[in-house]
Amino acid sequence: MKNSEIKTNVNFEGAILTPELIFTIKGMQTDDNEELDGQLKYLSNAVCSITRIMLDMSEENARKFTQICINLTCVMDTIETLRKP
């Protein structure tokens, strides 16, 4: 392996930043957070689709789907923290 191919991790206040993570965050933040906005749109569409399906299902299944929507919303909130100011 060439020296230029050696991967190093960065420890930043206890958080381990791998080259892959840095590449992903950098990609999400390019063009005014365009990729990040796209990922959030996919999640938002999924939550809306699930909510529409819930209108025609039993109360028990609707409760299960409600928890899924809550979980997806939490993921959206986490992804939002990656936004470049």
Mean pLDDT across 19-44 = 95
Can you list the alpha helix ranges (DSSP code H) found in 4-85?
19-54, 59-80
Pair of tokens at residue 62:
């609707």
- Identify the band that residue 38 occupies on the pLDDT scale cut at 50, 70 and 90: very high
Mean pLDDT across 70-85 = 94
Whether the Cβ atoms of residue 84 and residue 29 lie closer than 8 Å to each other: yes
10 in helix, strand or coil?
strand
| Distance of alpha carbon 69 from alpha carbon 66, whole angstroms | 5
Whether the Cβ atoms of residue 76 and residue 44 lie closer than 8 Å to each other: yes
User: pLDDT by residue (tens digit) across 10-28?
Assistant: 999 999 999 999 999 999 9
Whether the Cβ atoms of residue 84 and residue 33 lie closer than 8 Å to each other: yes
